[in-house]
Amino acid sequence: EDKVVQSPLSLVVHEGDTVTLNCSYEVTNFRSLLWYKQEKKAPTFLFMLTSSGIEKKSGRLSSILDKKELFSILNITATQTGDSAVYLCAVGSRTGANNLFFGTGTRLTVIP
Partner 1 sequence: DVKVTQSSRYLVKRTGEKVFLECVQDMDHENMFWYRQDPGLGLRLIYFSYDVKMKEKGDIPEGYSVSREKKERFSLILESASTNQTSMYLCASKVGLNTEAFFGQGTRLTVV
Question: Are the beta carbons of 39 and 101 closer than 8 angstroms?
Answer: no
58 binds partner 1 (CB under 8 A): no
Report, in Å, the least distance between residue 112 CB and partner 1: 26
Considering only 23, 100, 108, 110, the residue that binds partner 1 (CB under 8 A) is 100
Q: How far is CA 80 from CA 14, 38, 86, in A?
A: 8, 15, 14
Task: List 42's β-bridge partners, or say none.
Answer: none
- Preceding peptide of 43 cis, ω within 30°: no
65 binds partner 1 (CB under 8 A): no
* Dist. CA 49–CA 1, nearest whole Å: 22
* Dist. CA 6–CA 102, nearest whole Å: 9
Site string for partner 1, 35-54 (x = CB under 8 A): -x----xxxxx--x-x----
Sign of CA dihedral 15, 17, 18, 20: negative
Please identify, using beta-carbon distances, which residue of 80 and 95 lies nearer to partner 1. Answer: 95
32 binds partner 1 (CB under 8 A): yes
Kindly indicate which of the ranges 21-29, 57-65, 72-80, 102-110 contains the residues binding partner 1, using the contact rule CB under 8 A: 102-110
Report, in Å, the least distance between residue 92 CB and partner 1: 7
Report, in Å, the least distance between residue 15 CB and partner 1: 26
